[in-house]
Amino acid sequence: MRVAIIGQQAFGKAVLEAFIERRHDVAAVFVAPEKPGARPDPLKQAAGERGLPVHSFASYAAEEARATMRGLDVDLAIMAYVTQFIPAAFCALPKHGTIQFHPSLLPLHRGPSSINWAIIQGRTKTGLTIFRPNDGLDEGPVILQKEVAIGPDDTIGSVYFDKIFPAGVAALLEAADAVLAGTAREAVQDESRATYEGWVREAESHIDWAKHVDRIYDLVRGCNPAPGAWTRWEGKKLQIFDARKVIARRFAEVRGLKLGQVTRCGPESFAVHGQGGFIEVMRCRIEDGPKIKAAESGIRDGAILGG
């Protein structure tokens, strides 16, 4: 199989290595344009170390991009973690077209922060989809899907790196083999079940201490390690990372406490009161500082978080 890899970062690198290990002929690698000051792209570095041609285009609608793909004469293009828009006309250029990875069970959670939202919304399962890209956003026919569980204390880090990442690499290999063998079955997505969410950024990751601790904890988990759920302490931005949920079993545990009030400060953590219980914080960040242990934050009993 002669393939082109389109992607970036660690996932793109892992996909490249997997196809090379299977002795597929990787004709070239396409990566996103580098931003000034950004860290080197692991996929680009890996391709360069192997002497593979590396291409980068601001727009895949440009004739230069299309001519490059046509000249490679590949059987299949593999989209592994792609954030640029790639038009269907470009995807159709390989002999057997293009397949794409998306980290959700499409048509659920279309969009760029699909793993975050599955956790934030309190789901107990998610997964990945290999599909045929079209000009819509994650709307093309599905070739295969793999389901993964979201545990009650899973974070975006554990769901992605421990579950979806390895399963996604294997699924792209499986789907590519099926397409080339002519055994792939493509199912149109059910639009009546479709959901779309945008990026989880500052507005979406803000903690509302008036919400139930179940919802607050889901937000913290769904933003750990990035972008970090946040609140304010003495006017400073406080991001919360490692944490756990503690449900109040008796009214006496919360009597006299305000929502967002810090309590139970100890050598390893501090707790924050929310509806129905507490968020026990073990690791946090203040403003642009490093991630630190909660006990090193200087936050004491009685402090009020919020705003």
List the domains of the chain with CATH numbers: 2-193 (3.40.50.170), 213-296 (3.10.25.10)
- Does pTM top 0.85 for this prediction? yes
Low-confidence stretches of the chain (pLDDT < 50) are none
Q: What angle do CA 45, 35, 203 make, to 5 degrees?
A: 120
Rounded Cα distance between 265 and 300, Å, is 6
Which residues neighbour 205 within 8 Å (Cβ) at sequence distance 6 or greater?
Answer: 219, 223, 227, 228, 229, 230
H or E stretch at 98: strand 98-102
Structure token pair of residue 119: 């956790």
* pLDDT number for residue 243: 98
* pLDDT number for residue 192: 97
* pLDDT number for residue 37: 87
Structure token pair of residue 267: 């050598």
Rounded Cα distance between 131 and 145, Å, is 9
- Measured over the CA atoms of residue 228, residue 121, residue 198 and residue 129, the dihedral's sign is positive
Sheet with 236-240, strands from edge to edge, namely: 229-233, 236-240, 283-286, 292-293
Name the phi and psi angles at 122, rounded to 5.
Answer: 80, 20
* pLDDT number for residue 161: 97
* pLDDT number for residue 99: 98
Provide the terminal-to-terminal Cα distance of the chain, rounded to the nearest Å: 56
Structure token pair of residue 302: 């009685």
H or E stretch at 192: none
Rounded Cα distance between 93 and 70, Å, is 6
CA-based nearest residue to 244, from 216, 263, 285: 216
Sheet with 270-274, strands from edge to edge, namely: 243-247, 277-281, 270-274, 262-263
* pLDDT number for residue 251: 86
* pLDDT number for residue 115: 98
* pLDDT number for residue 185: 96
Cis peptide before 33 (omega within 30 of 0): no
CA-based nearest residue to 208, from 135, 272, 128: 272
Tokens 């934050």 identify what position?
297
Rounded Cα distance between 273 and 257, Å, is 7
* pLDDT number for residue 198: 96
